């Protein structure tokens, strides 16, 4: 059975003491321990060691928002998958639309990042999604297919370790959520593409998260859809109360 997941992408928010306080608040909520449900936080790199210590022994997952596509070397300012592993990160985002846009990350780099992470046994949350322009011209499925194709060079045993996040770019940080039906349509499409390439078992076992203005008041409806296995949460993950109510909606 596939896991239900709520992951909080803090992006470039929270200084050290604010970040620590937020993690402690999340941790002090006792009901986060169910087998098939997972709560994950994705703080900025600089907080990962602290977060790893604070979360030690807890069921809350910890991950990074990015990783470099090479394993080590002269890449000033970058962080490798092995470094992430060494401080206890179990997850990492790859392909977030903000990085695709602002850092001009290429498909080849994204694929290399995925490989680096898998080599370190770090679970990848691979983000895909169309822009408003692409949706308005009816190209959303074409774009989603292209973005998924990057992954389709992976072996079955690698694909099994991936989590997909569908994040329509027009819904990120805009307050415009995809309707639950729009999300379900794309999630089912993604699962059908996974089934075509990897077969039904892998497709059925892959968690597909929705991201883009997911909030406590719309989470339940979104998560109620058959192919929506949880959420990747930006703005609403910056307060323990809203993040935890989204988790409760699972
Ligand atoms: P948002 O961001 O919830 O603030 O829209 C989601 C994301 O970018 O992961």
Tokens at 184, concatenated: 């379900």
**Could you tell me the sign of the dihedral formed by the alpha carbons of 243, 32, 39, 160, in that order?**
negative
pLDDT at 32: 67
Closest CA to 38 of 2, 86, 85: 2
Q: Which residues of the chain have pLDDT under 50?
A: none
**Paired residues of 230 in beta bridges:** 5
Tokens at 100, concatenated: 């695709």
pLDDT at 36: 75
With 0-12 CB in 10 A as exposed, 13-18 as middle and 19+ as buried, what is 180? Answer: middle
Q: Quick check: 230 and 223 in contact, CB under 8 A?
A: yes
pLDDT at 125: 98
Q: Which atom number of ligand 1 is nearest to the Cα of residue 173? A: 5
Q: Quick check: 221 and 184 in contact, CB under 8 A?
A: no
Q: Quick check: 232 and 211 in contact, CB under 8 A?
A: yes
pLDDT at 199: 98
41 Cα–ligand 1 center, Å: 13
pLDDT at 34: 63
Atom 6 of ligand 1, nearest CA residue: 234
Which of the residues are catalytic? 96, 167
Q: Which atom number of ligand 1 is nearest to the Cα of residue 215? A: 3
Measuring from each residue's beta carbon to the nearest atom of ligand 1, which residues come in under 6 Å? 9, 167, 172-173, 211-214, 232-236
b/e string for 2-20 if b means 16 or more Cβ within 10 A?
A: bebbbbbbbbeebeeeebb
């Amino acid at each position: 059975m596939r896991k239900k997941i709520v992951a909080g992408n803090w992006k470039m928010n929270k200084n050290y003491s604010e970040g620590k306080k937020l993690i402690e608040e999340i941790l002090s909520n006792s009901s986060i321990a169910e087998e098939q449900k997972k709560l994950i936080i994705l703080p900025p790199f600089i907080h990962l060691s602290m977060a790893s210590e604070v979360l030690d022994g807890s069921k809350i997952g910890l991950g990074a928002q990015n990783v470099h596509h090479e394993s080590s070397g002269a890449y000033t300012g970058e962080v490798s998958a092995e470094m992430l592993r060494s401080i206890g990160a179990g997850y990492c985002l790859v392909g977030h639309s903000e990085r695709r846009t602002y850092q001009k990350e290429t498909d080849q780099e994204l694929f290399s990042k995925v490989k680096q992470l898998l080599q370190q046994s770090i679970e990848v949350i691979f983000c895909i999604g169309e822009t408003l322009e692409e949706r308005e011209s009816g190209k959303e499925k074409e774009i989603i297919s292209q973005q998924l194709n990057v992954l389709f060079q992976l072996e079955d045993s690698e694909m099994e370790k991936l989590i997909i996040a569908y994040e329509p770019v027009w819904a990120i940080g805009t307050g415009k959520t995809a309707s639950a039906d729009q999300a379900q349509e794309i999630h089912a499409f993604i699962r059908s593409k996974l089934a075509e390439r990897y077969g039904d078992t892998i497709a059925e076992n892959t968690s597909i998260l929705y991201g883009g203005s997911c909030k406590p008041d719309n989470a339940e409806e979104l998560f109620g859809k058959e192919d929506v296995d949880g959420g990747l949460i930006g703005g609403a993950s910056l307060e323990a109360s809203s993040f935890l109510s989204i988790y409760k909606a699972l």
